[in-house]
Structure 1
Amino acid sequence: MGGCLATDRITVDGCKVGYMYRDKPINIDDSAWRFFAGDEDEDYMADSDNHGVYAVNTIVNYDRDIIGFLNEPIGSEYERDDYTGKFKKAITH
């Protein structure tokens, strides 16, 4: 499926994906998916040591709940519902 961006909150700290969106790809190998635990702030994201590029399959191995969403179109945005633990469309402001 290609590469994606994911934060260390997922790949190092072991958090589940809490927020994900599909952006416009930056190159042919980019799936355009961006995965976050959901609690990363601007300062955290400003430090490039806190996130990296991974194969989407690698992130699936951390959190299989994302599988059903991977073919969603560019512009898709989902967040994990705190109550049910399932993904729902994110409401952006």
Structure 2
Amino acid sequence: MTTKNFKIKADEFVDLVPQMGGCFATDKITVDGLRVGYMYREEPDEKMDSGWRFFSGTEDQEYVNDPNNTMIYNVNTIANYDRAIIPYLDLPFGTELERIENTDKFKIITE
């Protein structure tokens, strides 16, 4: 496994959201520094799981399928990468959102 060169260093994080558990995020956000473009919340796998999953929206299926491209983080960590997610973090399980292009707003995806 290679060492990841994260865009934000550990000592640069600030507390932006209350403790709500872990989430999954791709390296497109934490290493490449892209903004969150797509996020969804599923029923948690365990007690310490918030259910949130964060993607830049540029990942293809091959990228997502490679476990080396995704890690578990504290939700606050991803909020430090992209503060635009903060107003949506209390939405219920089953919520799916995509960023409205060129804004800090997300819209709920309904199918």
Q: Provide TM-score, normalisation by structure 2.
A: 0.79
> Structure 1 runs of 4+ off > 3 angstroms?
none
CA root-mean-square deviation: 1.1
Q: Which moved more, 1:83-92 or 1:52-61?
A: 83-92
Q: Provide TM-score, normalisation by structure 1.
A: 0.94
Residue of structure 1 equivalent to 2:44: 25
Question: Alpha-carbon deviation of 1:61?
Answer: 0.3
Q: Does 1:39 find its partner at 2:61?
A: no
Percent pairwise identity: 57
Q: Secondary structure at the match of 1:4?
A: strand
Structure 1 residue runs of 5 or longer lacking an equivalent are none
Computing the radius of gyration over CA atoms, which structure comes out larger, 1 or 2?
Answer: 2
Structure 2 residue runs of 5 or longer lacking an equivalent are 1-19
Greater strand content: 1
> Given that residues 41 and 52 in structure 2 are in contact (C-alpha distance below 8 angstroms), is that contact kept between their aligned partners in structure 1?
yes
